[in-house]
A and B are shown apart, each in its own frame.
Chain A
């Protein structure tokens, strides 16, 4: 099984800060990596697919990069509405999908 390790597990930042979350796969997954945002009491929302492609309608302050085993998710300028938990998800070994454990982002 492919394991996904996100870091940090929690993060506190100020409005306007640049925020970076990393996700490491236990083996090479090419670019088969997606990022989701989950606000409290809500379903996850797709933000980035295939490592670096911004989903339609998602603000451009969100971005993703990486390939192979190491991936990065960035918010260029943190906004109050970005407070959420963020998850990475791989799909290299379909039909099995696995998620990272999540990164909880809070406002400092």
Chain B
């Protein structure tokens, strides 16, 4: 079955750019009709959808983050990536990648990766 795994630096300095990659295994990122999303969760808090990409490269972002977010896909590597610019401590969170069908539920999810913004 399809599995997702996040990777990237666990520590980012304020004002810099957070970069994460999600590697998809057990299936092709290009097969089927799926969106690939990033979702984050600050410690002890709820879930916030960041944005999504279709394998065509079409993207949608949460309006609250849109000015700072870029999501891209590399079908040759079966990966998609997140870049979040100008980070502050408020961006400290566990970041998850997840798959969603054209309908709107997330399954499966990656295990999550903690990113801390600190100098």
Residues of A within 8 A of B (CB): 32, 34, 36, 42-46, 49-50, 55, 87, 89-91, 94-102
Report the count of interface residues on B (CB-CB < 8 A): 21
Instruction: Determine the main DSSP class of A at the interface with B.
Output: loop
Q: Which of A36, A44, A45, A97 touches B104 (beta carbons < 8 Å)? A: A97
Q: Smallest CB–CB gap between A23 and chain B, Å?
A: 13
Q: Smallest CB–CB gap between B90 and chain A, Å?
A: 17
Given contacts A32-B104, A44-B47, A100-B46, contact A95 B109 (CB under 8 A): no
Residues of B within 8 A of A96 (CB): 49, 60, 62-63
By the criterion CB–CB under 8 Å, are A43 and B112 in contact?
Answer: yes
Q: Enumerate 19 A-B pairs (CB-CB under 8 Å) in ascending A order.
A: A32-B103, A32-B104, A34-B104, A34-B106, A36-B106, A43-B96, A43-B112, A44-B106, A45-B109, A46-B106, A50-B103, A50-B105, A87-B47, A89-B105, A91-B104, A95-B60, A96-B60, A96-B63, A99-B49
Residues of B within 8 A of A (CB): 37, 46-49, 52, 60, 62-63, 96, 98, 100, 103-107, 109-112
Residues of B within 8 A of A99 (CB): 46-49
By the criterion CB–CB under 8 Å, are A43 and B107 in contact?
Answer: no
Q: Which of B46, B52, B62, B96 touches A87 (beta carbons < 8 Å)? A: B46
Q: Smallest CB–CB gap between A38 and chain B, Å?
A: 8
With A34-B105, A89-B47 given, can you name 13 additional A-B contacts, CB distance below 8 Å?
A34-B106, A42-B111, A43-B96, A50-B105, A55-B107, A87-B47, A89-B104, A91-B105, A96-B62, A96-B63, A97-B100, A101-B46, A102-B46
Residues of A within 8 A of B110 (CB): 43
Q: Smallest CB–CB gap between B47 and chain A, Å?
A: 4
Residues of A within 8 A of B49 (CB): 96-99
Residues of B within 8 A of A98 (CB): 49
